[in-house]
Structures are given as C-alpha cells and as structure tokens.
Amino acid sequence: MILAECGTHPGILTLMQALQDSRMGIYRVQERDGARVRLQDLATDHTCTAVCASGYSGRLGELWFTRVLPPALTSADHVVFTSPYVLTAPDVSAWTAYLDRVASKKPAGTRAEALEHHFKWGPNPRYWLEFVFEAYSRHESGTIFLHGLPDVAESRPHSPSYRHLPAPDRKISEAFLEFAEPLLEKEGAPPTGQEVERVLQLAATIWNSVVLDTVHGNTEWVTKLRNQIAGQPPLEALIEQMILRKQSSFGHDLRLIGEFKIIEKNGEWRLRAEARAPTAP
C-alpha cells in the first residue's frame, strides 16, 4: 500500500485494512447486554458480540442492515460501524428467501461466497444505495428504518412501482377481499357463508398482525401468529405466503381490519368491513 510506504502508523493501516475487508450485511439481534449486542450474520450464520457506534442497541429479533468491523488493536468486541438500518418488513423468513434467490444465481461458488460478493458489490454500483433510498420508512436517534426487499420493487415505499399500487383511500373491504383471494379459492362447490367467514377471520388476523408490526417496528404480532400454528406444516406454509403477500403487495395499506360482515345478495357474497387506525385502542 502507498500509505505503508509513506510511513503511516501501523494502527491506522490495521483499521483501514479492516474497513477494506468488511462489507454490509443483514444481522439478527440475538442478545442485548448494555451497550453490546449479539449479532447473527444471515449470510454465514456466524455470530459475534459488537458495540454499536451510534448508541442504538435495538430489540431482540430485529434485523439490521449494517457494516460490522472485526476487533482491531486492543478491542475485544466487533464494532457496528454504521448506524444500523432496521429492516421492519418483511421478516427473517422473507429475507432468508431473498438470500437463497441471490445465491442460486451464482452456482459456481459456495452460498457464503456468493452472498459475500453480493453484499460487497451488488449487481451494480447503485444497487444498495437505491435500496436504502427507496426503502426508507422513518428514523430515530442512532438508526434508520427500512421497509421492503431489494428485488421486489413494489415492496419499497419510495419505489415508482409502490406508488402505482391502489391508494389507501380505496375501500378497505375491496383491498381486504383482494388480499384474501388465495385463501378463498376452493375447488368444487362454492364455499358456504360459514367457510368464508372462517377464512376471512384468518386473513384479518394475518393482515392486522403485519400492520401492527410495521407501525411499531417489531415482529411481535407475527411471531405470536406463528407460535399459534407451529407444528402444522401445511398451515405454516400458507401463513408465510400470506404474510409475504401483505408485506409486498399491500404493505402501503396500514389500516387495521375492524369488524366485518358477510352478506349474501343475489346469490353472491358481499363483504362489509370497518377500517381502524393502527394506533386505536
């Protein structure tokens, strides 16, 4: 290196090399201990204890898009070098699926190698910058919140595709019924009123869980939903599909589904639904 030839202090060279070797990545917060956090790298499954330079310690289970530097000089801890971008939606399963999609496009190397390159360079120089710009949701001291996936344009609040989705002033009954369509599809005889009501109760639970987690910046309600259906693989897969559907295609609609009623008219089922603000008691 030129700086080494110029007599730069070895400590500075060590820090610069650490920066050069590092990359952005997606990390899950596993533990918190004062100013320290235990992070798991979703790309490699490696874990480390780190100090967040911005002062943000986060919440258990949060996903961070950030750069983590290894211990340097006399420090025993890793360092979260950038203010973490908290990924509020979608959740860890959707991000794991995203990483799987990236790795599958580069079969020549290992999964870890493909993801290392992806996070370091991206498909193009502006890839990660544009993702952060379009996914911005809000910010608070020491952190910034992002919403959406890099390869799902309609999931990002500031993407042109996102703005083309139906506006939130659309009737909540119309948006909700469209969201629930995959659950209402049934071969054979048309579903009865009771069957439709049961399906819509499930759809409302999924919709409201995602809305509440998005608004509050956590995964509390979706986690509760997953715990309720744990051990039922077919239902688990269906729920995951619907969670991703809400986050990616209806993520802009942050109204809660209140009371709803199924009405039969001229041989067809009609839906009346009440919209509630996510901050309502």
- Residues 184-203 pLDDT 10s: 876 555 667 778 888 899 99
Helices and strands (DSSP H and E) totals, the chain: 10, 10
Would you place residue 281 in the very low, low, confident or very high pLDDT band (cuts 50, 70, 90)? very low
Which amino acid makes up residue 45?
D
Look up residue 209 and give its two tokens.
């869980």
Instruction: State if pTM tops 0.85.
Output: no
Look up tokens 């890839």; give the residue.
127
Backbone angles phi, psi at 208, to 5 degrees: -65, -35
Tens-digit pLDDT profile for residues 223-274: 899 999 888 888 888 888 888 888 877 877 888 999 988 877 776 677 888 8
The residue ranking higher by pLDDT, 170 or 58, is 58
Cα–Cα distance measured from residue 167 to residue 253, given in angstroms and rounded to the nearest whole number: 8
Candidates 279, 273, 276, 277; CA nearest to 178 is 273
